């Protein structure tokens, strides 16, 4: 099911990180990590949802069919800290990475300077969880065929600047294994080239954790993304401002996040004759409880997410609702 979980995983990462700042390195050398699987029910009407009941569409001028299913979202990480060198190597999904709304596996290294500023470099070797799409999304009146899609890249970050600022840069390479967009419509070669989805993306994120009161943190964040696809009709510039209020009191944690997203594409879409222009927004509500029933190192979390994307091309409109519950363990 090709549904973006960015809104959900932002708040999950925020809860795990304890308020958005990178967790300090351990004072002694050794292993640490966490495992937090989520089970969630996802409802969406995206045309790019690859569930079987959305395989066939009868209109290229409307959203997809409403469908829902239960899905497992596994989050976890294992790391080893070299305390004398103030360094750490890790493999998995770091909470801070998750908090950016991007949950690929990382193989990375962290280093903490004497003044507390953190440096991070990572390779993203594995495809994301949403690794299927339609080979040709513009097939109507008969079932569409799926294709695997991959996303790999690298990340650099500077964290805990000025007591709460973080700067992150990500480079991504996206590929679709069987790209056939536009073939069913009989588009000529030049038009089909405009729809090629293989792409290189650059993403820049700035955020600041402002502690407004004991246990209360306000986290404004701004992300800019430039994606240059092989097809100019799918290349875009995107902005995403987000605001999160995070509360922590004793074993309880709660967060409220709101976000807005805009994408402006480079060239007219050959199927619709217009340049695509997307707007999206959403809200996330989260609650976490550390050590429920006095279970040491365990935690439980519940999330509700609502998100909506509106495009001037109705085919790209979508609405998504997510309800998720997770129980995890840290070591």
What pLDDT digit, counting tens, does each position of 299-329 carry?
Answer: 999 989 899 999 999 999 999 999 999 999 9
C-alpha closest to that of 80 among 70, 69, 72, 91: 91
In a domain, 211, yes or no: yes
Per-residue pLDDT of the chain (331 residues; tens, 9 = 90+): 444 555 555 555 556 555 555 677 888 999 999 998 989 898 999 999 999 999 999 999 999 999 888 988 888 999 999 999 999 999 998 776 555 555 678 999 999 999 999 999 999 987 555 689 999 999 999 999 999 998 899 999 999 999 899 999 999 999 999 999 999 999 999 999 999 999 999 999 999 999 999 999 999 999 999 999 999 999 999 999 999 999 999 999 999 999 999 999 999 999 999 999 999 999 989 899 999 999 999 999 998 989 999 999 999 999 999 999 999 999 9
Angle at 313 between CA 312 and CA 318, to 5 degrees: 95
In a domain, 53, yes or no: no
Give the span between the Cα atoms of 77 and 330, in whole angstroms.
9
How is residue 319 written in tokens? 């609405």
In a domain, 97, yes or no: yes
In a domain, 114, yes or no: yes
Burial of 296 from C-beta contacts in 10 A (0-12 / 13-18 / 19+): exposed
Q: What is the pTM of this model?
A: 0.89
Residue 77, helix vs strand vs coil: strand
Terminal alpha carbon distance of the chain: 32
C-alpha closest to that of 146 among 129, 134, 130, 136: 134
Domain count, the chain: 1
**CA-CA-CA-CA torsion sign (119, 286, 237, 177):** positive
In a domain, 221, yes or no: yes
113-142 per-position pLDDT tens digit? 999 999 999 999 875 556 899 999 999 999
Task: Report, in angstroms and rounded to the nearest whole number, the Rg of the chain calculated over CA atoms.
Answer: 21
In a domain, 58, yes or no: no
**CA-CA-CA-CA torsion sign (172, 326, 12, 24):** negative
Beta bridge partners of residue 175, listed in sequence order: 150
How is residue 325 written in tokens? 């519950």
CATH number of residue 29's parent domain: 2.40.160
In a domain, 63, yes or no: no
Domain of residue 273 covers: 6-48+74-280+290-304+312-330
In a domain, 62, yes or no: no
| Contact criterion met (CB below 8 Å) for 25 and 116 | no
Burial of 240 from C-beta contacts in 10 A (0-12 / 13-18 / 19+): buried
- HSE (CB half, 13 Å, CA atoms) of 215? 8
């Amino acid at each position: 099911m090709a549904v973006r979980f960015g809104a959900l995983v932002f708040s999950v990462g925020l809860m795990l990180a304890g308020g958005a700042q990178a967790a300090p390195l351990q004072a002694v050398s050794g292993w640490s990590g966490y495992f937090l699987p989520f089970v969630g029910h996802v409802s969406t009407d995206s045309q790019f949802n690859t569930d079987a009941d959305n395989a066939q569409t009868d209109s290229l001028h409307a959203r997809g069919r409403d469908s829902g299913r239960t899905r497992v979202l596994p989050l976890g990480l294992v790391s080893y800290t070299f305390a004398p060198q103030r360094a750490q190597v890790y493999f998995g999904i770091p909470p801070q990475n998750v908090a950016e709304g991007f949950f690929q596996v990382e193989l990375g290294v962290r280093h903490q300077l004497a003044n507390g500023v953190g440096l991070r470099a990572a390779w993203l070797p594995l495809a994301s969880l949403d690794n299927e799409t339609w080979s040709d999304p513009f097939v109507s009146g008969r079932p569409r065929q799926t294709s695997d899609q991959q996303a790999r890249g690298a990340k650099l970050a500077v964290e805990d600047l000025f007591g709460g600022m973080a700067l992150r840069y990500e480079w991504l390479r996206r590929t679709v294994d069987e790209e056939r967009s536009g073939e069913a419509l009989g588009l000529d070669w030049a038009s089909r080239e405009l729809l090629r989805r293989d792409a290189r993306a650059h993403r820049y994120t700035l955020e600041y954790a402002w502690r407004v009161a004991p246990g209360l943190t306000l986290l404004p964040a701004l992300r800019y993304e430039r994606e240059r696809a092989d097809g100019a009709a799918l290349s875009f510039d995107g902005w995403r401002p987000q605001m999160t209020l995070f509360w922590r009191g004793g074993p309880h944690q709660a967060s409220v996040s709101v976000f807005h997203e805009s994408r402006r594409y480079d060239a007219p879409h050959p199927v619709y004759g217009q340049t695509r222009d997307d707007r999206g927004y959403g809200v996330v509500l989260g609650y976490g409880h550390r050590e429920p029933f006095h279970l040491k190192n365990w935690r439980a979390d519940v999330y509700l997410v609502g998100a909506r994307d509106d495009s001037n091309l109705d085919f790209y409109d979508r609405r998504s609702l997510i309800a998720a519950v997770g129980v995890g363990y840290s070591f």
